[in-house]
Structure 1
Amino acid sequence: MSFLTLDHLQKSYGPTKVVHDFSMNVEKGEFISFLGPSGCGKTTVLRMVAGFETPSAGRVMIGGQDVTRLRPNQRQIGMVFQAYALFPNLTVADNVGFGLKVAGVAKAERAGRVAEMLELIGLPQMGERYPYQLSGGQQQRVALARALAPRPRVLLLDEPLSALDAKIRVSLRNQIREIQQQLGITTIFVTHDQEEALSISDRIVVMHQGVADQTGTPRQIYNQPATDFVAGFVGTLNRFDADVVDAATGHVRIGRTDVLLNRPVKAGRITLAARPEGLVVGPHGIPAEVTGVEFLGSVQRLRARVGDKDVVLDRFNAPSVALPELNETIHISASDSTWLVLDAAG
């Protein structure tokens, strides 16, 4: 039985429906990311779980309890926002212990729990400082500790890293994942950053226009996208228009180059796609004119033009692998299992 159940949730504001019939089951201790562009409904779903929004229809169940009509402070939820929302007039220790104080936890027990939380986030000596004396990353860690201090049943994270610079984001997201695994707390993480979602999630829900386009592991979402939107939103995708020669065998033609997919496809004209790392340069394949070369250390990134389309190819760097010249013609190909078949080309 799932620990957190979102049962046919809907949310409308007047005539505008922002969440359409959203359902999912989350196991205890799972780390779930809601991934999607702005306005897709991911934060609205999170706020319905937290109790800040009331569903227009559907239920929220936690540990078998229907919490749909309970206030946020009755749900045993911990929440971390994009804005740190720390109390500027309270010390770090008092910020972390605020929820415990409101709950009436005795002072000695509160102090012990605060010390435990500060140790957990790696700031054991910072208790007497004030938020303005901390960096952005440190403030967000304090916000995380404050959310975890009352021992919530579910942790909700609403774009918690988007206000931080790139290097701190990577470090803090890894720390969040380590803490989540250490505590075994059921967590929902909202982000528009695909790299964040792919790197730390057990499962990802890709949302689009108020619905879950696909739910799956990071590998499934990236390697086996279920919709054209997911394929294009998660990672970089190269698209090729192809004419079907034999629908039964998947024999198609891109320009003048034959490609065999070894699986049935629809007759007519289709779109094939491949990730940058799925394309290779060789003696045979689709002719492409090199338009850009980037040396990224461990990776060589090649940009090329195929007909009227731009493509990107990533390959590992090796001393023996020379970089092509600009305007040079190369030939690119992919294995039959690498090609993704998208909707019919228009």
Structure 2
Amino acid sequence: MSFLTISHLEKSFGVTRVVKNFNLDVEKGEFISLLGPSGCGKTTVLRMVAGFETPSAGNITIEGREVSSLRPNQRNIGMVFQAYALFPNLTVAQNVGFGLRVKGVPAREIAARVEEMLALIGLPELGDRYPFQLSGGQQQRVALARALAPKPQVLLLDEPLSALDAKVRVSLRNEIRAIQRELGITTIFVTHDQEEALSMSDRIVVMHQGVAEQVGTPFEIYNTPATRFVAGFVGTLNTLDAKVLDPSIGRVKLGGNEMTLGRAIPPGEALLGLRPEMLRLGAHPGEAALTGTITELDFLGSVIRLRIDLGGQPLAVDLFNTTRQAPPKVGETVSLALNPSDALVIGG
């Protein structure tokens, strides 16, 4: 039995269904990300798990205990919000110990737990400060410590990094993941940032229009997207219309190019997905060959992105920047090679 089970969860506001038949089994200590664009229902799912929203249908169980009808303070769940939500009139130490005081924990135990939490988040000397005296990253660390202090069964994180600048976001996401692993706490993390989800998660739930489009590891979500939406939302993906010449072996035509995927595909028309990093310049034995004309070149530091016209269809190709070889020029006709097994046939 999974540690946290969400079964056939639904939520409607009036006639609008914002979450539709959502199902998820979460193992103890697992880090799950709900990933999707704004309005896809991911935060609503999180709020139902927390108890801030009542499901229109479905069940939520934690360690076999049904909690769907319980109030938030009856669920033993810690939550970190996007906007920190610290009490401005309380010190850092008082904020961290707030939940423990509400539960009536003795003052000596609260002090010990607060000291432990401040050490865990790397702010042991800042207990006497007030929130306005802290940076955004420090405030979010305090919010995390406050959520963890009562030793919740499940930790919920609602886009906790979105208000921070890029460098602080990367640093703090690594810290959150390290703390989560150290404590072994079951965690659900809501984000619209695919890089956050891919780098932090054990598994990702990609949501779209209230539906869980795909659940899988970061490797599975990125490399084998199950639907057209997942393929287009996660990472950069070239999508190319192809005519199927021989469905039994996956022989297709892309503009003036032909290639064989080496596996059976449906007849008729196909939508192929190619990641920019899967393509290489030049001919390589045993790989499929494509020919196109460079229309743009973007220098992105470690990566050079080429925009190529492939028989009327645009194609992005990523090359590693190297001082040993100058990149090709705009207007140049180039050959491209790819492993046919890397080409995705996208449906859904």
| Structure 2 length-normalised TM | 0.96
The answer for the alignment partner of 1:338 in structure 2 is: 342
One-letter amino acid matched to 1:86: L
Q: Which amino acid aligns with 2:19?
A: V
Amino acid at match of 1:219: F
Q: What residue in structure 1 maps to residue 185 of structure 2?
A: 185
Q: Is 1:41 equivalent to 2:41 in the alignment?
A: yes
Name the counterpart of 1:90. Answer: 90
Residue deviations 1:155-182 (CA, integer Å, cap 9, x gap): 0000000001111100000100000000
* 2:312 is the counterpart of 1:316: no
Q: RMSD across aligned C-alpha pairs, in angstroms?
A: 1.3
Question: Displacement of 1:317 after TM fit?
Answer: 2.8
Aligned to 1:236, what secondary structure does the other structure show? coil
**Who is 2:207 aligned against?**
207
The percent of aligned pairs where both chains have the same amino acid is 65
- Residues 134-153 of structure 1 aligned to structure 2 (within 5 Å): 134-153=134-153
Matched ranges for 1:1-346 at <5 A: 1-283=1-283, 285-343=289-347
Deviation at 1:320, TM superposition (A): 3.0
* Cα distance in structure 1, aligned partners of 2:313 and 2:209: 27
Displacement after TM superposition at 1:329 (Å): 1.4
SS of the residue 1:168 aligns to: helix
Q: CA deviation at 1:211?
A: 0.9
Give the aligned residue type for 1:316. F
C-alpha distance in 2, partners of 1:267/1:61? Answer: 44
**Letter of the structure 2 residue corresponding to residue 276 of structure 1:** P
Unaligned runs of 5+ in 2: none
State the distance in 1 between where 2:238 and 2:322 align: 24
For the residue of structure 1 that corresponds to 2:341, the secondary structure is: coil
Per-residue Cα deviation, 1:212-241 (whole angstroms, up to 9, x for no partner):
000000000000101111000000001122
Partner of 1:157, secondary structure, is strand
Cα offsets for 1:57-111 (capped at 9, x unmatched):
1111011111111000110000001001000011000000000111111111101
Q: How far apart are 1:18 and its partner, in Å? A: 0.7
- Give the TM-score taking structure 1 as reference length: 0.97
Partner secondary structure for residue 108 of structure 1: helix
Q: How many residues align?
A: 344
Unpaired runs of 5+ residues, structure 1, are none
